[in-house]
Structure 1
Amino acid sequence: MTIVIAIDGPSGSGKSSVSRAVARRLGLAYLDTGAMYRAATWWCRHEDVDFADEDAVARAVVAMPLEMGVDPDAPAVHVGGEDVGAAIRTTEISTAVSAVATNLAVRDELRRLQRAAIDAEKLEGFSDGRGIVAEGRDITTVVAPDADVRVLLTASEEARLARRARELHGSAGQDAVEATRDQIVRRDADDSTVSQFHVAADGVATVDSSELDFDQTVDAVLAVVAQLTAPAAKADAADA
């Protein structure tokens, strides 16, 4: 049985780490689409492209030599053969990524690449045809609206700010939270102009992790997966 799991949600909801854990538990490939937008931002900076020139940004992204690793244990990101996994997580990229992510032509190109990655895992790829967990903006509604499982992973703003502060600064104190606020609140506000990720679309299950720890959140998503794939699993067993 091949399975496609699509997970969306606001910044700091834990969708990346949870998606990787779900992929690992199920033996599936993992696609971090947010890393694709970060890589595009890094590439535009590398190529000295003016972020204000939307056409130039779009052309640069179309030409970007991007390679996305889909191993949940080592989801590497390479551009032109260079490992940019660490570089795309810097504050410099985090503060600039919305300028690229809100470019509609860029979104069209990266969505095309995302669909291609998902289709590759349906055939063979890293997962040998078992499938993929893809996470990020537009996944549940635009990129993979026909995924077997679609989840909106959400949490309160307070919980999301605290999590990201601990991740970036090692503390959820007031200063760390305020230093993180721009990356969470401002980016979500920017991205919401081109993508809907605060409210689940029809057919998308919601998992609220505000009061859950990491393992509980992973278990909650796996429970949704088990519930939604049970009929197909039974049908496959009957046909065997």
Structure 2
Amino acid sequence: MENVSDRGVVVAIDGPSGSGKSTVSRRVAAELDLAYLDTGAMYRAATWWCRRADVDLDDAPAVTGAVHAMPLRMVTDPADPRVVCDDVDITAAIREAVLTAVVSKVATNLDVRTELARLQRAIIAEETTPGTDSRSGGRGVVAEGRDITTVVAPDADVRILLVADEQARLTRRARERHGNADHSTLEATRDEVLRRDADDSTVSTFLTAADGVVTVDSSALGIDETVDAVLTVIAGARQARP
């Protein structure tokens, strides 16, 4: 029987848009020399793939079929995470506003969620199995995104819900997208942050912590402070690990 201590560590981080989970997860993965998996990028990649194939995003069965055939590769290096689909590096393309506006149509497709969860579990398994030719060499992975703490990796060694209040989330996303957070840029990001959360919450729970999930509130914290808070949670969990 496999000793659980032989496996790499799995850190699962969920939370609403603008809570800082992507930046924090990358920093934590780099600090601990683990792989980094952005599961949200996989939904964006699926949307890009469907649009490239001229699939109607309102046709759920057609979207599901396209996603099952999607040749997706996730590069899990936290220093340079990339998304490659059909040998095309789409890391930048999947962040374009036109795709952001429609990604929830794919992300709320339950059959797509099932397929991408399967792919996510396969990546996590590879990154936590000693002897595999993975980025972490089997040491483990920090995986972040919708459903990660409850559906994809409910048995993760560390499960964290990273939250922040609405104003903090809007401000962060406005600065990220536009370089500042004035009235116009806050309004420009409102749909991306709040509407997407409302859409995604119809099929995923990420606004309140499930049993066993530790909540970290980043509303009043900078990135460095949030990273430290998450590292503290991980250190405590790893000490208690058998």
Match of 1:224 in 2: 233
Decide which of 47, 63, 66 is 2:69's aligned counterpart: 63
In structure 2, stretches of 5+ residues that fail to align are: none
Which structure features the higher share of helix residues?
Answer: 1
After superposition, residues 57-206 of structure 1 pair within 5 angstroms as 57-123=63-129, 124=132, 125-206=134-215
In the comparison of the two structures, how many residue pairs are matched?
233
Kindly provide the amino acid, as one letter, of the partner of residue 37 in structure 1. Y
In structure 1, stretches of 5+ residues that fail to align are: 236-240
**1:163-185 Cα deviation digits (max 9, x unpaired):** 00000011110100000000000
Decide which of 55, 63, 75 is 1:49's aligned counterpart: 55
The offset of 1:231, in angstroms, is 2.0
The offset of 1:129, in angstroms, is 1.1
The offset of 1:45, in angstroms, is 0.4
Compute the TM-score of the two structures, normalised by the length of structure 1. Answer: 0.96
Match of 1:238 in 2: none
Using the TM superposition, name which of 118-127 and 37-46 deviates more. 118-127
Compute the TM-score of the two structures, normalised by the length of structure 2. Answer: 0.95
After superposition, residues 17-28 of structure 1 pair within 5 angstroms as 17-28=23-34
Kindly provide the amino acid, as one letter, of the partner of residue 126 in structure 1. R
SS at match of 1:67: strand
Mapped partners of 1:195, 1:21: distance in 2:
25
Using the TM superposition, name which of 17-26 and 116-125 deviates more. 116-125
**1:97-117 Cα deviation digits (max 9, x unpaired):** 000000000000000000000
The ranges of structure 1 where at least 4 consecutive aligned residues each deviate by more than 2 angstroms after the TM superposition are none
Task: Indicate the RMSD between aligned Cα atoms, in angstroms.
Answer: 0.7
SS at match of 1:74: coil
The offset of 1:126, in angstroms, is 0.9
SS at match of 1:88: helix
The offset of 1:228, in angstroms, is 1.0
- Report % sequence identity: 64
Match of 1:212 in 2: 221
